[in-house]
Each structure stands twice: as C-alpha cells, then as structure tokens.
Structure 1
C-alpha cells in the first residue's frame, strides 16, 4: 500500500503481520523516526473540510485495516513492521486521518477492522451507534500538547507569552479535531492559571489557519508558513533532530489526550484484529508508542 500522511486525504500505510498462533508478541527493533511530511495544506485563514471518500478497503483474511488517528503517523511504520515480525505473515494497513474524518467514513460505510481514536467522544459515539464492539473498547495511550516552531525560529519566540505578540502567525487544529479541542483547553488553562484572558484573546487572534488534522499543523510549521503551531508531543518527538524548536507547556496547564482502540463491528477478520489490539496493548506495542513520545494509558 502506498502511504500518504497528510490531512484531508485518506492515507494508508501497509505493513505486515498475522498470527499463525496466539503466542505472545515479541518486540522488534525500532527504526529511526519518520520525518514530518512537508506538503502544503489549505491556505491560511481557511478552515478546510475533509470530504468523506467512498470505501477504499475490502475485507481480507491476511490484512488488518486500522482507521487510525493521524497523530500516529510517525509511529505507524514501526508498529506495522513490529507487528508483522511478531505475527507473520499478516499485514496491517493504516488509514491515517483526523479522527473526526475517520468516524464519518465508518458511518458512511468505509471498511475497517480496527479503530484507533484520539478522542473518547468519537469512540463513544460510534459505540452507541453500533459500529464498534463494546467489549473491545480499550484505552491505548495518552498524549500531551506542545508548541513547535520552525527550526530557524524567525519570529524569535522564546516563551509561551510571546505567542500573543502582534504579527505572530500561529497554526492550530479546528475544534472538530481532537488536538484542536485539546489546544483550546490548554489556552483556557494558561489564561486562567498563568497569563490572562487578554493574552489568550491576542494569541487566538494570531491564529491564521485552522487545520483538519494534527500533522497538517506540523506541516505548516515545517514549511515556515507559520511561526508556531500547537501539536501533540509525539509529533515533536517523531521529527528528525533539527526539524523544530519546541516550547513545553507545563503539565499543570496541559491537556492529556486519551486514545482508544476497538474492533469495528463490520470487520470480517475479528480474530486477527483482536491479536493486533492485544499487541498494541502489550509491552511491545506500548514501548513503540513511548519511543514516539506517547505516554502511558
């Protein structure tokens, strides 16, 4: 499968892995982190909308289709190869997109075996609607929000307070995207505990683009189209050294995003889907997530 890790598209990363037996998985070696993609996204000040495509995948006894939150883009190739090493010869294809887009695609009939969400709300909705197997819904991992800057830091941003300076250009995700909701919560926390409402209002007024996925925000920063962007800690960690500068948000003001994993009701390959879920929840899967900046469930 050809993989495209960008917002607004249905991306799929094919990897291999299928259990001939139910033996406990073993961790595989972890390759270098995948660079953040550099493809231009929607023009600034425009809130893009993600079209829901017709179903792309068809059921396969040897391939798991995992509709996965786009913030796992960096970790996906490593997860895929490691799962394949533990469970040959099955494969896993990652369709990476904003969680809100993946939810809509499932509701519109797109085929998936596994759903990995960056928001409990979307998981809860799909479960209530009958699209997920309730007993398989599990907490997978967590993620904090951070601020990234272009490597050259042309706006000379030295602290969170500088985000409110006139002329600063900021990218963040729309509130329909999990990281967008998390960013809004962070701004509210910072305004209430450390800075002020005027700081928050000025920072928000500096937002020049709202993106439909978390990697799209990172792309804006890596291309130098904005001076700063709010992304997950995992995205900053997955980028090669020298890609970004970053400003850490104190945990007392931060927002801990919870990711969930579940088997999709329509899956015709629930056995292998279950093995994949077990692998992701095992020490091997959790170690890979930790290497890419995710935190424990």
Structure 2
C-alpha cells in the first residue's frame, strides 16, 4: 500500500511538471516579437511655397527626388530677364535735343507699346562711351567720322547703318544783338565774343570747314584769323553753344540751322552762311550689335527713316538725307 502511494505521487509530480513545461512553451509562442517596419506605398505631398511679405515670388529651379516607383519632377527654371523688347536706348547726337520729344511721340504712335530713351550728348562723347562698354540699342551720329570709327570697330549690327538727315551751320545772336552784328564780316570786329564747338564735335568740324570756305571765297584769311581770335569758348556740344548765346554770355555762336528753327521765337536772331560756302553735316543711324532689343531697335530705325520720322525732322530744320 505504501509502494502504490509512492508511485502515484511520482506520477502526479510528473504530470504537474509536464503541465508546467507546456505552459512555458505556450507562453513563448505567444510572446510579442520585436516590432518590424511595416512597408507602405510612399506618397509625396506638395509643400506650399513660403512668401515673404512685400516680395514677389519667382520660379526657382527645384529638383525633387521621389521614392521608388514615384516619378521625379523638376519645376520650370527661373527665366533670364533682359532689356524689354519694347524699350530702346538711343545714344543720340546732342543737336537733336530740340526734336527728341516729338520723335518719341511719333515713335510710340507708330509702334504702340514701344518706348524710346534718348541719351543726348556730343557725338564724340557718345562714341567714346560705346567704345568703353556703355550699353545702347541705337546710335545716331552727327558726323560720318564717328560712324566710320564705330563701324571699323565692329560695333554695329550688319546692314543697319543708314544716312538719316543733314544739317547746315548758321550763326545765331542774342535777341537784342548787343554787338550789332549784321553780316558775317562783323564777326571779325574787335571785341566781338564768339562761342564755337570744339574741333572734335561734329558742329565744330562743320564750323571750321565753313570758315575756311568763307575765307577762301569772300573774306580772306585775315578775317578768319580775327574770327578765331574773337572765339572765347569752345564747347563740348552744340546745345552748349546755343545756351551761351541765349544767356548773353557771348555775342555770336555757330550752331546748326535746326537749333535756330527749334528755338522759341525771340530767342535768337541769325545770320545765314551761303550754301556754296557752308558745310553740310551728314547724320546717320545704326543698331548696335550688343542690343538685346534688336526688334524694337529696328522698329525705331524704320520710324526715323519713314515719311513720318523725316517730316518731324524737316519741321525742326533738318534737311533731307
């Protein structure tokens, strides 16, 4: 009886141990495994652009790398801005100052939306500026000398150099004519003060040529020498000569006929130079090779050479090309 009980006890302990082992195994099978990443299809979400108050946003070249299986996209590159096609910068001989506003008006009328900006100065100064890298779309010269210089330098668009207009030299006097100048001979009288343009300025070149012709044909070299002696200032532009006369700082000045025509009535009185002795200065126009508005520049040249442009020049004392 004791042996049977002992056997029974051993069986019971074995069963308990077995149950404990099974419980342990079952718990191991149901315990949590380390978390594994769950793979989902990747997506992209557009991020709104940040706008700084007061600034206009512009397209930027932004490259986006997409997840596998998603098409990569690139935004439109930022454009490169240049001078507006409708805007023209014209380096223009100073003697066109009086007619420039009318030319601008006529150009805008013929080509609505276009705009012309004149940089007015002595042709010799404008030539130097262009040679030194100044930007211009169009060049209007009052002397073939400087047109030829820039042509040889390769500054003009091929086939765009054209004769624009012509101009004669005239002598203007203050309205009250304090020196009582009546004829060209009076310019040599002692004490007369004369203003001329420098010898490098187109109207200065024309003045020297006209004086030489007058000396040879009519007045003699002594007269020419006296006129040179009476010249008290050599200006860098034709309008500067006209200003000296208008202010009464000199008794006479050599300018273009167009300046006398464009002046307000009563500003000057004038003494003409005979055509046979005068010097006809030739103006030209051309488009610069470096222009970034060649279409609009060509339109402006076409306007200047058109009947409308030529009529405006004629109304202001310029002559036909």
- Short-chain TM bin: 0.7 to 0.9
Q: CA RMSD in A?
A: 0.8
Contact in 2 for aligned 1:84/1:90 (Cα 8 Å): yes
Contact in 1 for aligned 2:192/2:251 (Cα 8 Å): yes
Contact in 2 for aligned 1:67/1:102 (Cα 8 Å): yes
**Is 1:81 aligned to residue 105 of structure 2?**
yes
2:78 aligns with none
1:230 aligns with 254
Q: Distance in 2 between matches of 1:224 and 1:288?
A: 29
The structure 2 residue matched to 1:145, chosen from 169, 184, 191, is 169
Q: How does 1:66-145 map to 2 (within 5 A)?
A: 66-145=90-169
1:279 aligns with 303
Q: Distance in 2 between matches of 1:95 and 1:60?
A: 17
Contact in 2 for aligned 1:59/1:111 (Cα 8 Å): no
Q: Distance in 1 between matches of 2:315 and 2:198?
A: 27
**Is 1:164 aligned to residue 188 of structure 2?**
yes
> What is the DSSP-based 3-state SS (H/G/I as helix, E as strand, rest coil) of the residue aligned with 1:135?
coil
Q: Distance in 1 between matches of 2:139 and 2:116?
A: 12
2:66 aligns with none
Displacement after TM superposition at 1:86 (Å): 1.1
Number of equivalenced pairs: 240
Q: Distance in 1 between matches of 2:115 and 2:261?
A: 26
Name segments (4+ residues, structure 1) moved above 3 Å: none
Deviations 1:258-285 (A, max 9, x none): 0000000100011111111011001000
Q: Distance in 1 between matches of 2:310 and 2:244?
A: 29
Asked which structure has the greater RCO (Cα within 8 Å, sep 6+), the reply is 1
TM-score normalised according to structure 1 size: 0.80
Deviations 1:184-221 (A, max 9, x none): 00000000001110000001100000000000000000
2:315 aligns with 291
Q: Distance in 2 between matches of 1:60 and 1:216?
A: 33
Contact in 2 for aligned 1:127/1:133 (Cα 8 Å): no
Deviations 1:34-53 (A, max 9, x none): xxxxxxxxxxxxxxxxxxxx
Deviations 1:231-290 (A, max 9, x none): 000000000110000001000000000000000010001111111101100100000000
Q: Distance in 1 between matches of 2:218 and 2:83?
A: 51
TM-score normalised according to structure 2 size: 0.74
**Is 1:59 aligned to residue 75 of structure 2?**
no
Q: Distance in 1 between matches of 2:166 and 2:157?
A: 21
Displacement after TM superposition at 1:112 (Å): 0.4
Displacement after TM superposition at 1:61 (Å): 2.2
Q: Distance in 1 between matches of 2:174 and 2:207?
A: 19
2:245 aligns with 221
Displacement after TM superposition at 1:134 (Å): 3.3
Structure having the higher helix fraction is 2
Displacement after TM superposition at 1:133 (Å): 1.7
> What is the DSSP-based 3-state SS (H/G/I as helix, E as strand, rest coil) of the residue aligned with 1:67?
strand
Structure 1, unpaired ranges of 5+ = 1-57
Q: How does 1:194-273 map to 2 (within 5 A)?
A: 194-273=218-297
